[in-house]
Amino acid sequence: MSGRKAGLPAERLIRIERRKARNRAITLSIMVMAIMLVTVLLIIAVMKQAKPNPSLIFIQEGKLVHTVRSTGLLIREEQVFTAPATGLLKTLVTEGSRAAKGQKLAMVIPEGKESQLADLLKCENDLISLQTELMNTGKVPGAQAIYDESAATLNAIVNLIRSDITRGTLANMSAYATNIQVVLEQRTTRLMTIDFKDSRLDTLKAKKESLEKSLGLDAGLLTCQQPGIVSFRTDGLETLLTPAAVETLTASQITEYLRQNKVTGLKEGTVQKDEPVLRISANHQQFIAFLLPNTDAGLFEVDTLTEIILPDDGLTIPNSRCVRSVASGSDALVVFKTESKVERLSDRRTINAELALSATSGLKVPVSALVDFDSDLSQASLMIVSGGYIRRCLVDVVDLDREFAIIRAIETEQYKPAVATVLVVNPASIEAGEFIGD
């Protein structure tokens, strides 16, 4: 009995030692596995970093255009209208709209007739309110069509206002307000021709005609003499910059006209007798004169067509015909004639433009893809993919700018680039002969 008791502590100690040994073995195994896992991860990371990581694109055909930027002087056939008397100018057409011969453009209300003018404005408002009321009955379909048409025009102006507000531009708000007023007045005038069969409307019409006669508006009425585009922005150059001046315009004159160019804002409010208030531009064509710095006039041949780009406006004037190209020292005096964007530019005298000096077409690649470019030989190497391997090939560099180059394959080269060839655009990231996969 006592011998069995003496053996118990020894057996317990053995079990404890075995358990400790097993725990140490498990801990050591876990540590070894952890070290192996970390080692594997490090190896994978190093392999990923060492693996080629080229950026690839397909070579495509393209065009490289070299341009010169300059300020152009707009020349048009224009007719200036002056105020027949001192008074309040009231516009009857919108800025930039096309006017027909005989159309009423504006009127000048003589001074000292403010009370009659207030009565006339009230009468016009009463007319509008009554016309709207009668139209809403649905019994005058012709009036509804006129109303819908003017509503579409007003929506377009409202969209322009929203766009300007979004950009933080408030300079055109006065012009928009004037245009809205003109659209409403034109709608009222057109609605006057509709028979609403209402005696109240007939009474208001008669009152309006009487007030207009008492104001003497017929004497102050400005009427369009020839079709064209209306602008209430004048600059005093309308009689100087005419189509006849295109052939005699000098470089110094262009410089001076550009310097003194000061197109006035929209005419509104009180005007003085004989003050220019609006102009009508012929709507079929315009001329644009440029003085191009450090440019060979021979690059622009007479009767050739050029595309004029207006980057500030996001516009392009296509098919602009060169009508004059002469050298002026190291500069070139060039004049173009165009029938495009006449209405869009009717309120301006100058534009900021870019003109194409030359254009080269061919295989277009990024300049960053060129390796060891030799400017004397106009040659460079490209890294292209062929059969899953990186191959280096020599090419001719036909043309280039800061971003792109036009290249041509050399027939004697083993590997030649073509359309849809895979190109490495970061050649420093890889070596020729490396395999990147099919």
Give residue-wise pLDDT tens across range 183-235.
Answer: 877 787 787 778 778 888 889 888 888 887 777 666 678 989 888 899 888 88
Which of 140-154, 164-178, 331-345 is predicted least confidently? 164-178
Look over the chain and give the mean of its residue pLDDT values, rounded to a whole number. Answer: 86
Strand partners, 16: none
Helix 141-167 × helix 173-191 angle, to 10°: 180
Q: Report residue 178 as tokens.
A: 């004037």
pLDDT at 1: 47
Distance CA 307, CA 65 (A): 11
Q: How far apart are CA 291 and CA 303, in angstroms?
A: 18
For residue 168, is it left (φ>0), alpha (ψ between -120 and 50) or beta?
A: left
Give the span between the Cα atoms of 50 and 48, in whole angstroms: 5
Give the type of residue at 230: V
Instruction: Give 422's pLDDT tier (boundaries 50, 70, 90).
Output: very high
User: What does pTM read for this prediction?
Assistant: 0.65
Please give the structure tokens belonging to residue 312. 């500030």
Query: Sorting pLDDT into bands at 50, 70 and 90, what band is 438?
Result: low
pLDDT digit string (tens) for 266-291?
666 788 899 999 999 987 889 999 99
Q: How many helices (H) and strands (E) does the chain have?
A: 6, 20
Pick from 165, 64, 130: which is nearest to 367 by CA?
64
What proportion of the chain, given as a percentage, has pLDDT over 90? Answer: 37
How many CB atoms within 10 Å of residue 204?
20
Give the count of alpha carbons within 13 A of 194, CB side only. 22
Nearest-angstrom CA–CA distance, 195 and 224? 28
Q: In degrees rounded to 5, what are phi and psi of residue 111?
A: -65, 155
How far lies 82's CA from each of 91, 273, 417, in Å? 13, 7, 67
> 3-state DSSP call for residue 278?
strand
Consecutive H or E run containing 258: helix 251-260
- Give the distance from CA 212 to its chain's centroid: 44
Q: How far apart are CA 426 and CA 436, in angstroms?
A: 14
